[in-house]
Amino acid sequence: MNKKFTILTLSLLFSSMISAQEVIDNYTMSYFNKNYEIEASTGKNNNFTIYIQVNAERSKTKANYMIKSDRLNEFKEALILTKDKYVEWTKVAKENNVTDMSKDIDIKFPNIDIAWLGTKWFFSFGKKLSPKFMILKNGQNIVSFVNKNTASSNQYIDETTYWVFADVKEFEEFILKLDFDKIKVKLEKSENKAELFK
């Protein structure tokens, strides 16, 4: 009973946070040929949460990675290490004429929460991200993050999310967007504007 109450409370809390978030940037996943938003919301004690929109299995579903500000730099460092491994393995594959491959990249990301919008917002808490390096049949090298998520509030509700990087430039451009200070400044500017109209 206590566990169900805690999950319900967390779900309501995160739902209210999501409704208060604002778009701070966007990025492109060329693999899906789509643009995605990066949003953020402020919390207590000058903390914030960023919401990275990712691809969902159901085409009309909006899905987000949720990362708290105190884990942002750890997340960013893991992504940089993943990019470096992508560069290394792409070079090795080219030099050795490897044309078909799928291999996990042993980089540890901080656990995150994943949210998706169905009839309402659903959440899967404490999810592990596991990057996988792949050489596709068309010769393209990618890194993919695939998560099969089950709603914490309902075991019968699920959604699969996909986050894919298709070249070094995509990695580099996205990593630049994970700047703690710049995100904080954008949120503070929005808050200051809101204060004018109380």
pLDDT at res. 171: 99
- Asked if residue 76 lies in contact with residue 175, where contact means CB atoms within 8 angstroms, the answer is yes
Q: How far apart are CA 39 and CA 27, in angstroms?
A: 11
pLDDT at res. 123: 98
Bigger pLDDT: 180 vs 44: 180
Residue 18 pLDDT greater than 70, yes or no: no
Domain ranges of the chain: 2-190
Residue 12 pLDDT greater than 90, yes or no: no
pLDDT digits (tens, 9 = 90+) for 98-144: 999 999 999 999 999 999 998 899 999 999 999 999 999 999 999 99
pLDDT at res. 16: 47
In the chain the first and final C-alpha atoms are separated, in Å, by 41
pLDDT at res. 6: 52
| Angle in degrees, CA 93, 95, 162, rounded to 5 | 20
Q: Where are the alpha helices (DSSP H) in 96-197?
A: 168-177, 180-195
**CA nearest to 79, candidates 166, 148, 143, 162:** 143
| Residue where the block lists tokens 């809390």 | 13
pLDDT digits (tens, 9 = 90+) for 41-100: 998 888 999 999 999 999 889 999 999 999 999 999 999 999 999 999 999 999 999 999
pLDDT at res. 9: 52
Report how far apart, in Å, the C-alpha atoms of 178 and of each of 26, 105, 158, 165 are. Answer: 11, 21, 28, 15
